[in-house]
Amino acid sequence: MLMSTGGGKSICYQVPGMLLDGLTIVITPLIALMTDQVEQLVRRNINAAAIHSGIPKKRIEEILDNGVYGNLKFLYVSPERLNTELFKARICQIKINLVAVDEAHCISQWGHQFRPSYLNIHQLKEILPKNIPFLSLTATANERVKNEIIQYLKLDKPQVFEQPYYRENLIFAVRKDNSKEKAILSILKKVQGVGIIYANNRKLVEKIALFITQMGYPAFHYHAGMSFLERQKTQSDWINEKKKIIVATSAFGMGVDKPNVRFVVHWQITESIESYFQEAGRGGRDGKNAFAILLFQEKDASNQEIRLAQQFPSIDVIRTSYIALFNHYQLAIGAGSGEVLPFKIDKISESFNLNPATTFYALKVLEKEGWFEIVDEIFRPATIFFKVSYERMYEFMLKNKALLNLMKSLLRSLSGAFESPQQFDVYSLAKQINVPYRTVEKQLKYLTNENYIQYIPKKEGAHLYLHRERVTKENLSIDLVKYNELKSQKEKMLTSIINYANSEEECKQRKLLNYFEQDIEDCGHCDYCLNKSRTLDKKLFSKQLMEYIIEHKKVTLDNLLELNFVVKKSQLIESLEQLCLENQIQKDGIYWSIIES
């Protein structure tokens, strides 16, 4: 099923899931996304739970037990969890009514958010009864991506339901300004309310957020370099409008339900029309007008071309990166299969004097080949389990004055840890007893070594799932035909978004939808359509200009562009020059003013 971003995809499995007897499994890629949907269902008194890398094993067992005994209606699962032995063993005992695969474009290597774990979802069909329906949902997919979704999910005689992508309340525009800083301030001045600004790297995201905050438009920044808890809090604070603007990389937005976004600005072109259209579609979900604006300079295209070239390194670079990866973890040939390891590309590249970006993209090629999987969204809170009785803990506490405050707090607030592992936040504990975080960490590890407790530190950030054992450089197989085909397709996708940015003779929304093989009439409200209508009625446009200049007495070209930021600069200059010829206005340096009679 293909529905536009914000079109209500979740209803398509939540309504039948409520009506049918049994449990609905929802496979979705991001922890934040599933957490948000589970919380929404629970608030409506609907039994729902999530299983992902942040959930301890005991809690997973409890969740699956609830499924077996019919105490759950919805189970949200990350694709990586599907292949665990525990999940496969217990899911057979649960009455399943529907399997929904959300964000199904992640299944396709041609898509913009490929996740290798999605390729194994079809294995569920081998475990579950044959009559259970599978439903896949996405907001953006061209014909090639649709075919791959059907192929990899092994859907038999699938029915494809495709909602028109047209969004009548989205106003698309491309601004070509020498200064993007001036352009963004012009937009923020004109469009009030909640907004998202996308940029393609972490440093730039932080720089833009700082700049607009200093200019009087308070903004959050958001990227994958922040901790899980930082990102979670930032997203929550933005949704609750503690600040109305968020500047983010593409790591932000999937599954975020915020209906009143009035603008989505892209600082540069994305790598494809799919990713641009999906991100732009986060504006105006409440049905009211919203702006989708792309800031474009010619150098943006060449920068993306350089970035794309980096994504397809030589075979020698790929092999060198593979060896560096396994050497970093000190894994010998024949070892590594099944390991889950913390993944920090800067540490790996630094250890072997490699370029971090090139190394990362080389490893992503191997990920597509199925050698391993790099998962960004992992968060597992710290847990603690008391291994001795209360009396022994109390006795030990009295003999070790340095640990007195820590152990008092643990016994008071985590008494359940005598029966089962309990989740807790070490930072909050340290703040509560007024002891430095590092000191508390050392004390917890000391108690673990003394065998009084079992403390497992939190795990977060990117992790590496090794699917195969290490092989020699010569035995590292790569499908070169597929590799070159993928490179060619990615180049075509980039060309499409560059063509969109440069297009001045076609309706913006029509051009976007033609890419998805949907045709519409001109939308009537993108920058092309508005400029076209002004061209047809130059007298009306000149009258509006005159009224504005009379009101403000003396204006600059930038002032006039703020009057409506989707107007073409060339047309504005042409209209001003015509008014000059008619002796209605005059130019003095950078200023335009009325000629007094």
For 484-507, how does the pLDDT look when each residue is reduced to its tens digit (9 = 90+)? 988 898 899 999 999 999 998 899
pLDDT level of residue 183 (50, 70, 90 thresholds): very high
More confident residue, 538 or 125: 125
pLDDT at 468 over 70: yes
Lowest mean pLDDT among 96-100, 192-196, 399-403, 424-428: 424-428
* The pLDDT value given to residue 180: 95
Q: Quick one: pLDDT at residue 1?
A: 44
Identity of the highest mean pLDDT range in 100-109, 125-134, 210-219:
210-219
120 or 261, which is more confident:
261
- What per-residue confidence (pLDDT) applies to 567? 64
Instruction: Write out pLDDT tens, residues 147-163.
Output: 888 888 888 888 877 77
DSSP 8-state symbol, 311: T
For residue 551, pLDDT over 60 is answered with yes
Question: What amino acid is encoded at 175 in this protein?
Answer: R
* Residues 535-552, mean pLDDT to the nearest whole number: 73
Distance CA 359, CA 324 (A): 9
What integer pLDDT is reported at residue 274 of this predicted model? 87
- Which residue is listed with tokens 């979900």? 285
Nearest to 313 by CA among 270, 357, 368, 347: 357
Per-residue pLDDT at 544: 75
To the nearest whole number, what is the mean pLDDT of the chain? 86
- Tell the CATH topology of 170-296: Rossmann fold (3.40.50)
More confident residue, 458 or 377: 458
The Cα 156–Cα 166 span in angstroms is 29
Q: Is 399 exposed, middle or buried (0-12, 13-18, 19+ CB in 10 A)?
A: exposed
**Placement of tokens 């409520």 in the chain:** 18
55 phi and psi angles, rounded to 5 deg: -100, 125
Give residue 597's pLDDT band: very low, low, confident or very high (50, 70, 90).
low
**Whether the Cβ atoms of residue 261 and residue 241 lie closer than 8 Å to each other:** no
Tell me 145's DSSP state. H
Whether residue 384 contacts residue 422, with contact meaning beta carbons closer than 8 Å, is answered with yes
Mean pLDDT, rounded, for 311-327? 94
Mean pLDDT computed over 458-486: 87
Tell me the C-alpha distance between 226 and 246, whole Å: 14
pLDDT at 109 over 70: no
CATH 1.10.10.10 fits 305-378+462-490, yes or no: yes
Query: HEC string of 37-76?
Result: HHHHHHHCCCCEEEECCCCCHHHHHHHHHHHHCCCCCEEE
Asked whether 288 and 258 are in contact (CB, 8 A), the reply is no
Architecture of domain 382-457: Orthogonal Bundle (1.10)
Residues of the chain with CATH 1.10.10.10: 305-378+462-490
Q: What pLDDT does residue 593 have? A: 85
Strand, coil or helix: what is 559?
Answer: helix
Q: How confident is the model at residue 3 (pLDDT cuts 50, 70, 90)?
A: very low
Q: Which of 451, 403, 450, 448 is nearest to 429 (CA)?
A: 403
How far is the C-alpha of 71 from the C-alpha of 73, rounded, in Å? 7
In CATH, the architecture of 11-153 is 3-Layer(aba) Sandwich (3.40)
In which residue ranges of the chain is CATH 3.40.50.300 found? 11-153, 170-296
pTM of the prediction?
Answer: 0.75
What are the distances in angstroms from CA 49 to CA 21, 37, 74, 569? Answer: 17, 9, 7, 53
Q: Is 455 helix (H, G, I), strand (E, B) or coil?
A: strand
Structurally, at CATH architecture level, domain 537-594 sits in Orthogonal Bundle (1.10)
Q: String of b and e for 338-350 (b: at least 16 CB within 10 Å)?
A: eeebebebeebbe
pLDDT of residue 229: 78
